[in-house]
Amino acid sequence: MNLQMETVRHRETLIVRLSGELDHHTADLVRMRMDEEIGREGCRNLLLSLKSLQFMDSSGLGVILGRYKLIKQKGGKMVVSDVNPPVFRLLEMSGLFKIMSIYENESSALSELEVAL
């Protein structure tokens, strides 16, 4: 299965929607595309929507942690939403939720990010 990535800007927040599989085959492309978007003017926060992400391995975790560091350097905040059970388990076991918040859906995550502005 391939990976599809959709990016949308909402004020100072970049919303990245991933579907498919984020693994060692797709991680570099996702990393490059996200870095390009994060580097654009006016991008401060990142919302990672994983509603349709079916699988993720340690390469995917590396992508997420690296983008978290970039966003923190910009003084922004990164959050995750819509995580399905298998991916949730991996993120939880990795300790990711100790450094970033998880939300049930994009709208609640966006509301929280806008409060942070």
Cut 0.85: pTM above it: yes
Question: How many separate domains does the chain show?
Answer: 1
Question: Is pLDDT above 90 for 7?
Answer: yes
Q: Cα(66)–Cα(31) distance, rounded to whole angstroms?
A: 8
Contact 87, 56 (CB under 8 A): yes
Q: Cα(85)–Cα(89) distance, rounded to whole angstroms?
A: 6
Question: Is pLDDT above 70 for 1?
Answer: no
- The predicted-structure confidence for 9-36, as pLDDT tens digits, reads as follows 999 999 999 999 999 999 999 999 999 9
CATH number (domain holding residue 49): 3.30.750.24
pLDDT score of 82: 96
pLDDT score of 115: 76
- The predicted-structure confidence for 64-113, as pLDDT tens digits, reads as follows 999 999 999 999 999 999 999 999 999 999 999 999 999 999 999 999 88
- The predicted-structure confidence for 38-54, as pLDDT tens digits, reads as follows 999 899 999 999 999 99
Confidence grade of residue 58 (pLDDT, cut at 50, 70, 90): very high
* Domain of 16, in residue numbers: 3-116
